[in-house]
């Protein structure tokens, strides 16, 4: 026969006793606090993460002779803006920056729009061959891009797009990763009952996508937009093949800084720092939304 232990009551509410676990005594919604080890680990991770950017600033603000010393400098100097001016003289950084903004923005907008549409079709619409098409889409992620470079360049040349930024934009408007990512998120975040209710109310497929699906998957769209923008901004392999040195992206324009018998590392770092600033601005604007989107996806999953 089991015995029950009576717990004290205050105003009709059961009060937790000291024998209960602490996690039960913590009020719901009260934030959790980490110990000293947690803060120490966070400080170490932050320093390790920020140090490459900090040392890029240090290298960009010194001369080549100062960097070649036996003891490398650890503090910034006053030659930063002078090195950036020299980088502008050696490479078309402004032209590359404008092209990269156009290319990255167009690729991001196209990828988010088309991949969300395709993900919705694979997740919620029933049509013949959907599983086969999705499998083929996933398989393409295993094929290295280098295998298709020659036929892709021949296609762009036949279309008259060689040495134009359209040649960089068009092949990457849809990605297999984006389609699979959005398909998985939509399948778990949008209940089938909402889709069926929309059809019952007389809404067409696009209306359901616009009014029901898009508001529900905005966190995932934000995450995909940020990942796509970073990938397009940092891409070097295909732009250097498809574009000329007179019409480059910012990554391609950096190769002009490394010319000569002894390239100046400080000038290269100054140009790299200039090309990194837009990415930092974008991440500062969207970083909070990305973290929120990931957390919402985790809760829904």
So what's the pLDDT on residue 66? 79
So what's the pLDDT on residue 118? 92
So what's the pLDDT on residue 20? 47
Cα 57 from Cα 76, distance rounded (Å): 7
So what's the pLDDT on residue 299? 45
Cα 99 from Cα 247, distance rounded (Å): 8
In this structure, the number of other CB atoms found within 10 A of the CB of residue 136 comes to: 11
So what's the pLDDT on residue 114? 94
* pTM for this entry: 0.77
In this prediction, the residues of the chain whose per-residue pLDDT falls under 50 are 1-5, 10, 19-25, 297-301
Residues with Cβ within 8 Å of 9's Cβ and at least 6 positions away in sequence, in order, are 15
What's the pLDDT tens digit per position in 45-95?
Answer: 989 988 988 888 888 888 777 777 777 788 888 888 888 888 888 888 888
So what's the pLDDT on residue 267? 86
Domains and CATH numbers, the chain: 36-80 (no CATH), 84-300 (1.10.3720.10)
In this structure, the number of other CB atoms found within 10 A of the CB of residue 167 comes to: 23
φ and ψ at residue 175, rounded to 5 degrees: -125, 145
């Amino acid at each position: 026969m089991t015995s029950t232990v009576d717990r004290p009551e205050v105003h009709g509410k059961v009060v937790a006793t000291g024998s209960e676990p602490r996690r039960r005594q913590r009020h719901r919604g009260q934030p959790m606090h980490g110990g000293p080890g947690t803060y120490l680990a966070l400080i170490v991770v932050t320093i390790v993460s920020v140090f490459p950017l900090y040392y890029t600033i240090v290298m960009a603000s010194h001369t080549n002779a100062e960097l070649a010393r036996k003891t490398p400098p650890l503090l910034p100097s006053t030659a930063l803006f002078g090195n950036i001016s020299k980088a502008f003289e050696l490479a078309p950084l402004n032209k590359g920056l404008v092209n990269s903004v156009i290319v990255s923005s167009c690729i991001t907008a196209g990828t988010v729009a088309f991949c969300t549409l395709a993900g919705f079709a694979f997740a919620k619409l029933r049509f013949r061959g959907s599983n086969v098409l999705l499998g083929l889409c996933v398989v393409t992620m295993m094929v290295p891009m280098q295998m298709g470079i020659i036929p892709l360049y021949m296609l762009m040349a036949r279309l008259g797009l060689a040495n134009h930024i359209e040649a960089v934009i068009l092949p990457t408007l849809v990605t297999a990763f984006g389609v699979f990512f959005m398909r998985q998120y939509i399948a778990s975040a949008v209940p089938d009952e909402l889709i069926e209710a929309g059809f019952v109310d007389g809404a067409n497929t696009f209306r359901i996508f616009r009014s029901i699906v898009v508001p529900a998957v905005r966190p995932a769209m934000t995450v995909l937009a940020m990942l796509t923008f970073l990938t397009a901004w940092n891409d070097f392999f295909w732009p250097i093949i498809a574009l000329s040195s007179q019409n480059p992206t910012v990554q391609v324009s950096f190769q002009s800084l490394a010319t000569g018998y002894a390239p100046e590392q400080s000038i290269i770092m100054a140009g790299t720092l200039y090309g990194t600033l837009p990415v930092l601005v974008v991440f500062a604007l969207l970083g909070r939304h990305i973290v929120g989107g990931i957390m919402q996806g985790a809760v829904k999953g």
